[in-house]
């Protein structure tokens, strides 16, 4: 079992956003979390990655049997959780290679593994850059600075490939992508799918799920999962919109 | 007539509160040589005697108090009660060798002059130079034949004190009143000196004695000449006071890069004056790195005295504990088509305090001036303080002048981004503050120095951030 969320309640500054989430993700699975704006999708992603502005008021989250909520964001990363940001942060003055190598080596160090030197890291990075069709020149550029929307998202997937997480969380990775970039991003994610890891794909629209085929689709509405099903559920949502489910949920 | 009386009255009555009297016999007024030299014979002796005489007049005015606008945030009253004396000892190589190259490593081929508490240490220096093209001379008496000395002296006499123009700032006056030694660098017309010139000051107290020194540097780049000069001040234990003055005279189409690194000891006080005078088409790139000291005040001025001059004035300071730094900068655009870029940044931890005043003064003739000033500060602790005072005085009507100041904390979102990639909080804070400082380090032209500075920044930030309470 990779992730078990039980009756998770969380909010920000006294306002409850997640109102009792139950979700179980097994190894080898891809789960999609769909929902309209304001349903709590990004909050869920943020709580799992350890965003400190959210307060968990009830429930528990187990990551491979360990209490995830007790861990700091860096401990979660070391344990194998990765969040691909909806809005990747620009860090002028730190180049991408240095940034990611520092992260990777911090993680390796905490696991008692040997750190990679600049040369070994470069080898690894080159290989992973190919997955998202990015040029090596990006390694020398400041993190996300001056990147286009598509480049930022590909850069997120590249980082995920290098850190090789057990659970990859994609927060609205499809937002702002044209169809070509979307395909590249999806292909990158697909190439990382294995029997021993899992992905949580948070998205408003179904189109990303044409390329990353989920095993389970959950519909999040007002902080609760109101419906779960197979990949066809995403298509149904695309055709009918969220309104019908909203009506069904309130009846 | 009426006006002049009024003026006299106001300056007369004002002076008592804006200045604190420095009594006769006080160490700041204990001069060597004591009186304007009646025996001065050579042009250099005459010039120095005249400069000292004028500077000493300024000291008679007194010590600027916190009531004077220029020293509003920096109280120097302790100079009146504490007793500082020059170091009379001869320090040996063994005593300081280990410390000496900590901030900037030795670069192959560099010219290096080492001073300890203001006294020249020949053993660790590469020596003075007297070649065609480049001359590195000692202001306080040269070497070689008497005729040669006199020739060199005349050259120094021609330029020394030129940047002070009509007025002395207080700090420039204190240095000049005690001027008897220092380094003068001359780069001849059209010569491009590829090896950096490095002046290395080592400062430390001597038991209970508080030590003062008055280092002086003069750099003259003649028409079309190019040179890189680095000055480093490394402090050690004990109460010390350093009052340096640097003059940069950049001739027509000449280019001077000047890098200054100050890391005073925990009780070290640093009061400096840096004056630059630029002629037509000249370029000055000035970088100041401040890595510590109990109290520091830098008076920095660049006068764009010809058309089409380009000045870069950068400053980076990393402060912690109760350290206090006051940077007082003036860019004086006197002629048309001048460009100035001024970036001062600081990172403050604990109870540190940073004061920045940046005056851009555009004269009426200085049309098409393009001046950009930026002062950015990061506070790592709620008890750190910043005073930022940009000032524009513009008398020309066709100019582009912008300034901006920011004071903030590290961005939470950027910290979270780093941590989500596995970088622990403390390292993430070092990484982000290092990134904040990186562009100013990157601008230093000499690769070896740039790398050493990046490392010095990282090490200091680690110490500053390591002490902090985790949140």
Shortest distance, CA B200 to any CA of chain A (angstroms): 29
Percentage, residues of chain A above pLDDT 70:
99
Taking CB atoms and an 8 Å limit, are A74 and B432 in contact across chains?
Answer: no
The encoded tokens of residue A67 equal 């209490």
For B69-132, the DSSP string reads GGGTT---THHHHS--EE--S---HHHHHHHHTSSS---TT-EEEEEETTEEEGGGS---EE-S
- Please tell me the predicted confidence (pLDDT) of residue B107: 75
Quick check: helix, strand or coil at residue B139?
coil
CA pair distance A62, A69, nearest whole angstrom: 8
pLDDT per residue over A76-108, tens digit each?
Answer: 999 999 999 999 999 999 999 999 999 999 999
Q: How far is CA B368 from CA A70, B254, B301, in A?
A: 60, 21, 20
pTM above 0.90, yes or no: no
- Chain B contacts of A91, Cβ < 8 Å? 414, 417-418, 432, 435
Taking CB atoms and an 8 Å limit, are A52 and B422 in contact across chains?
Answer: no
8 A C-beta contact, residue A209 and residue A32: yes
- Please tell me the predicted confidence (pLDDT) of residue B126: 87
Taking CB atoms and an 8 Å limit, are B414 and A89 in contact across chains?
Answer: yes
CA pair distance B386, B317, nearest whole angstrom: 12
- Please tell me the predicted confidence (pLDDT) of residue A197: 97
- Chain A contacts of B425, Cβ < 8 Å? 72, 74
Strands (DSSP E) contained in B363-424 are: 370-379, 385-394, 400-408
In 3D space, the residue among B236, B299, B292, B291 whose CA is nearest the CA of residue B272 turns out to be B299
CA pair distance B370, B336, nearest whole angstrom: 9
By C-alpha distance, the chain B residue nearest A51 is: B416
Per DSSP, B206 falls in state B
The encoded tokens of residue B293 equal 């000291």
Q: In chain B, what are the helix, strand and coil shares in percent, each to the nearest 5? A: 25, 35, 35
8 A C-beta contact, residue B47 and residue B157: yes
The encoded tokens of residue B60 equal 């008679």
> Residues with Cβ < 8 Å from B78, sequence gap 6 or more?
none
Burial of A24: CB neighbours in 10 Å, binned 0-12, 13-18, 19+: middle
Percentage, residues of chain A above pLDDT 90:
88
Q: Count CA atoms closer than 13 A to A138's CA, side-chain side.
A: 24
> Residues with Cβ < 8 Å from B1, sequence gap 6 or more?
none
Per DSSP, B209 falls in state B
CA pair distance B117, B215, nearest whole angstrom: 9
Q: How far is CA B313 from CA B12, B14, B48, B259, B284, in A?
A: 36, 33, 29, 10, 8
- Residue A219: phi and psi, rounded to 5, are -105, 120
10-residue mean pLDDT profile of chain B (471 residues): values are: 38 64 92 68 88 92 92 95 88 70 71 90 84 88 70 92 86 94 95 94 88 96 98 92 98 98 95 98 98 97 98 98 97 98 97 97 98 97 96 96 94 96 95 94 93 93 72 37
8 A C-beta contact, residue B185 and residue B136: yes
**CB-CB: which of B414, B422, B436 is closest to A78?**
B422
Q: Which of B413, B421, B437, B461 to mutate to test the interface with A (most CBs of A within 10 A)?
A: B421
**Per-residue pLDDT at A226 exceeds 80:** yes
Shortest distance, CA A79 to any CA of chain B (angstroms): 9
Q: How far is CA A24 from CA A27, A168, B87, B99, in A?
A: 10, 14, 75, 60
Q: Count CA atoms closer than 13 A to A102's CA, side-chain side.
A: 23
The encoded tokens of residue B55 equal 């500077």
> Residues with Cβ < 8 Å from A7, sequence gap 6 or more?
A20, A21, A22, A58, A59, A60
- Please tell me the predicted confidence (pLDDT) of residue B16: 58
pLDDT per residue over A18-66, tens digit each?
Answer: 999 999 999 999 999 999 989 999 999 999 999 999 999 999 999 999 9
- Chain B contacts of A99, Cβ < 8 Å? 418, 421, 431
- Please tell me the predicted confidence (pLDDT) of residue B38: 62
**CB-CB: which of A52, A74, A94 is closest to B422?**
A74
Q: Which of A47, A94, A97, A162 to mutate to test the interface with B (most CBs of B within 10 A)?
A: A94
Residue B179 sits at the vertex; the CA angle it makes with B328 and B115, to the nearest 5 degrees, is 85
- Please tell me the predicted confidence (pLDDT) of residue B148: 78
For A105-132, the DSSP string reads HHHHHHTTPPPPPHHHHHHHHHHHHHHT
In our burial notation (b when 16+ CB lie closer than 10 A, e otherwise), range B238-270 reads bbbbbbbbbbbbbbbbbbbbbbbbbbbbebbbb
CA pair distance A111, A114, nearest whole angstrom: 9
CA pair distance A179, A208, nearest whole angstrom: 9
In 3D space, the residue among B86, B32, B9, B103 whose CA is nearest the CA of residue B454 turns out to be B103
Taking CB atoms and an 8 Å limit, are B439 and A92 in contact across chains?
Answer: yes
Confidence bin at A250 (pLDDT 50/70/90): low
């Amino acid at each position: 079992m990779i992730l078990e969320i039980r009756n998770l309640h969380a909010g920000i500054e006294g306002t409850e956003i997640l109102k009792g989430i139950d979700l179980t993700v097994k190894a080898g699975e891809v789960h999609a979390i769909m929902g309209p704006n304001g349903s709590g999708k990004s909050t869920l992603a943020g709580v799992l990655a350890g965003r400190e502005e959210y307060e968990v008021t009830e429930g528990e989250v187990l990551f491979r049997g360990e209490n995830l909520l007790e861990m700091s964001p860096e401990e979660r990363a070391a344990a194998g959780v990765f969040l691909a940001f909806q809005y990747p942060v620009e860090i002028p003055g730190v180049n991408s290679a240095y940034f990611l190598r520092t992260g990777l080596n911090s993680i390796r160090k905490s696991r008692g593994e040997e750190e990679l030197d600049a040369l070994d890291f470069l080898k690894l990075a080159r290989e992973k850059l190919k997955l998202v069709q990015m040029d090596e020149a990006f390694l020398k550029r400041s993190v996300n600075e001056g990147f286009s929307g598509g480049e930022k998202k590909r850069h997120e997937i590249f980082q995920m490939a290098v850190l090789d997480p057990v659970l990859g969380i994609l927060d609205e990775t499809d937002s702002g992508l044209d169809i070509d970039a979307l395909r590249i991003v999806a292909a990158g994610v697909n190439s990382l799918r294995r029997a021993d890891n899992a992905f949580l794909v948070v998205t408003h629209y179904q189109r990303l799920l044409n390329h990353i085929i989920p095993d389970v689709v959950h519909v999040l509405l007002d902080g609760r999962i109101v419906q779960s099903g197979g990949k066809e559920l995403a298509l149904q949502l695309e055709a009918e919109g969220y309104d019908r489910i909203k009506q069904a949920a309130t009846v | 007539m009426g006006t002049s009386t009024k003026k006299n009255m106001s300056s007369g009555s004002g002076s008592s509160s804006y200045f604190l009297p420095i009594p006769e016999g006080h160490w700041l007024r204990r001069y060597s040589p004591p009186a304007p030299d009646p025996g001065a014979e050579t042009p250099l002796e005459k010039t120095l005697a005249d400069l000292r005489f004028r500077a000493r007049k300024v000291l008679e005015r007194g010590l600027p108090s916190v009531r004077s606008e220029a020293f509003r945030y920096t109280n120097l009253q302790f100079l009146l009660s504490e007793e500082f004396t020059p170091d009379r000892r001869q320090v040996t190589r063994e005593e300081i060798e280990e410390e000496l190259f900590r901030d900037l490593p030795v670069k192959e081929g560099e010219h290096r002059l080492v001073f300890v508490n203001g006294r020249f240490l020949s053993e660790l220096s590469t020596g003075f130079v007297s070649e065609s093209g480049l001359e590195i001379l000692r202001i306080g008496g040269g070497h070689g034949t008497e005729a040669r000395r006199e020739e060199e002296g005349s050259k120094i006499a021609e330029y020394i004190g030129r940047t002070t123009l009509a007025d002395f700032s207080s700090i420039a006056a204190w240095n000049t009143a005690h001027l008897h030694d220092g380094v003068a660098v001359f780069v001849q017309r059209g010569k491009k000196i590829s090896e950096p010139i490095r002046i290395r000051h080592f400062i430390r107290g001597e038991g209970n004695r508080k030590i003062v020194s008055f280092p002086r540097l003069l750099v003259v780049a003649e028409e079309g000449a190019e040179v890189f000069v680095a000055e480093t001040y490394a402090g050690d234990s004990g109460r010390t006071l350093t009052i340096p003055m640097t003059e940069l005279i950049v001739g027509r189409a000449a280019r001077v890069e000047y890098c200054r690194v100050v890391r005073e000891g925990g009780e070290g006080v640093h009061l400096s004056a840096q004056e630059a005078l630029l002629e037509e088409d000249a370029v000055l790139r000035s970088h100041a790195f401040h890595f510590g000291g109990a109290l520091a005040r830098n008076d920095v001025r660049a006068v764009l005295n010809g058309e089409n001059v380009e000045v870069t004035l950068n400053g980076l300071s990393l402060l912690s504990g109760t350290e206090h730094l006051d940077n007082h900068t003036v860019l004086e655009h006197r002629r048309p088509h001048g460009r100035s870029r001024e970036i001062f940044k600081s990172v403050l931890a604990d109870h540190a305090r940073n004061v920045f005043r940046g005056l851009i003064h555009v004269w009426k003739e200085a049309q098409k001036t393009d001046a950009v000033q930026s002062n950015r500060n990061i506070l790592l602790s709620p008890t750190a303080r910043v005073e930022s005072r940009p000032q524009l005085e513009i008398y020309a009507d066709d100019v582009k002048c912008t300034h901006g100041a920011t004071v903030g904390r590290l961005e939470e979102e950027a910290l979270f981004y780093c941590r989500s990639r596995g970088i622990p909080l403390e390292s993430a804070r070092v990484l982000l503050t290092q990134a904040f400082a990186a562009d100013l380090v990157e601008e230093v032209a000499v690769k070896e120095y740039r790398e050493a500075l990046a490392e010095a920044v990282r090490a200091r930030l680690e110490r500053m951030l390591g002490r902090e309470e985790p949140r």
